[in-house]
Amino acid sequence: MRLISWNCQGAFRKKAGYILRQKPDILIVQECECTEKLLFELTAQKPTDSHWYGSNLHKGVGIFSYSGFRFELLNIFNPRFRYILPLRVTGNGQMFTILAIWAMDDKENRKASYVGQIWQAIHFYAELLDDTAILIGDFNSNTIWDRKDREWNHSDLVLALAGKNIHSIYHTHLRQEQGKEADPTFFLQRNKKKPYHLDYCFSSKNLCDKVQQVSIGSFRSWIKHSDHLPLIIDFNL
C-alpha cells in the first residue's frame, strides 16, 4: 500500500496529474478544494472513493482512494479540531484508522493552534490510538520551535504518541532525530534557503514494522507546484 500526504497549496484540480504519477493507493491532500470543485483534467485518474472536509470551499482536507480502499468518517469526529479527520479505512482485506491532519492557526484559541490543536485532538481521540492507527499530514510543527512557556509542544506530542506505541515512520525508518531532519518537507515562500520539516506520518508499531520505503519528493520536481513536498510511505500489508 502506498500512502501519500501532500499540501498542494491550493488548486489541486490543476495539480492532481503530477501527484498521481506517484501511484498512491491512498492520497491525503491539504489545502484541497471541495469535491464539487474538483473537475479533474481528462488525463487525471478519477478516485474510486473520496472524502473532503473544510470550512472554506477552496481549502480543506481531501482524502482519495485509487485502489479498493473505502473511507468512513467516524461519528466521534469533533469539528472543534479543525481539519483533523478520523476515518475508518477498509478494503483489500485491511481495516485501520487514519487521522488525516492539516494543523491550522486558531486566532480565537491560541492554545488550539498548530501543535496544540493536534495535542488536544489525540487526547479527545485517545480510543482510536490503538495498533491500527495512522496519523498523517501537515502538522505545521517541529521540535525546533519547542517553548518552555507552552503547555505542550512538538516534543510533548512525540512523547505522548510514543506512550501509545505510535511513532514517526520517517524518523524510525531513516533513523532521524526530531528537529534534526535531513530532509525538509516545506520551503517558506518556496525559498530553498528556508527549509523546514513539517509533514509527518506516525503509525502504530505493528504498521511501522511493515514499512518498506519512505521518501520525500525533491525540491526541483515539486517546488513549482507547492511550498510543500509530498511524503510517500510504502507498506507491505
pLDDT of residue 208: 94
φ/ψ of 233, rounded to 5, equals -125, 130
Q: Which residues contact 106 (CB under 8 A, 6 or more apart)?
A: 82, 112, 113, 116, 117
pLDDT digits (tens, 9 = 90+) for 108-166: 656 666 788 999 999 999 999 999 999 999 999 999 999 776 778 999 999 999 999 99
What HEC string does 122-148 produce?
HHHCHHHCCCCEEEEEECCCCHHHCCC
pLDDT > 60? residue 190 = yes
pLDDT of residue 113: 62
Q: Are strands 186-187 and 195-196 parallel, antiparallel or unpaired?
A: antiparallel
Cα angle 41, 192, 189 (rounded to 5 degrees) comes to: 65
pLDDT > 70? residue 107 = no
**CATH 3.60.10.10 for domain 2-67+135-235:** yes
pLDDT of residue 121: 95
Domain boundaries, the chain: 2-67+135-235
pTM attached to this predicted model: 0.94
pLDDT of residue 36: 78
